Amino acid sequence: MNLKKTLTPDTVWVDLRADTKQGVIEEMVDRLVAAGKVRDREAVLASILEREAKMSTGMQNGVAIPHGKTDSVRSLVAAVGINKAGVNFDSLDGSPCTIFIMTISPTQRTGPHIQFLAEVSRLISQPAERDKLLAARTHAEVYEILTGK
């Protein structure tokens, strides 16, 4: 999957300000609403928080992948945010998360969601790529690192 088909410059941020798990999720959803990518903020937020309540999406190496399914989106919506200070996200390795990859997909469509996560996971599994993301100073730099633009 080409990440350019899913990510857009207005869904990539280097300046997440929230300092809690709930805050990061809400901030990212709010920014997706502002970008016109989400029709129903409350439905999207509820789907992500419901998924998060089942098991944390804080992975390891400073990466969290909050996600949810709702028919409030027509197709896969994705966003990437950076919080260089780090946020406790109940990650598998116990470390704070700094790179947040959010996906929201329609209830009945799993293919694009899985393909997107596979492609992003391949990229961020490499320490050098994570370091580049964390060193980025602008939204455009993050977008370029992720999409190869």
Angle (CA) 38 44 46, round 5°:
160
67, 69, 130, 139: the catalytic one is: 67
Q: Is 67 a catalytic residue?
A: yes
User: What backbone phi and psi angles, to 5 degrees, belong to 87?
Assistant: -135, 135
**Of 5, 8, 1, nearest in space to 144 by CA:** 8
> Tokens 């939204």 correspond to what residue?
139
For the four alpha carbons of 15, 20, 21 and 27, in that order, the dihedral sign comes to negative
For the four alpha carbons of 120, 141, 25 and 89, in that order, the dihedral sign comes to positive
Give the pairing type, strands 77-87 and 12-13.
parallel
Which amino acids are annotated catalytic? 67
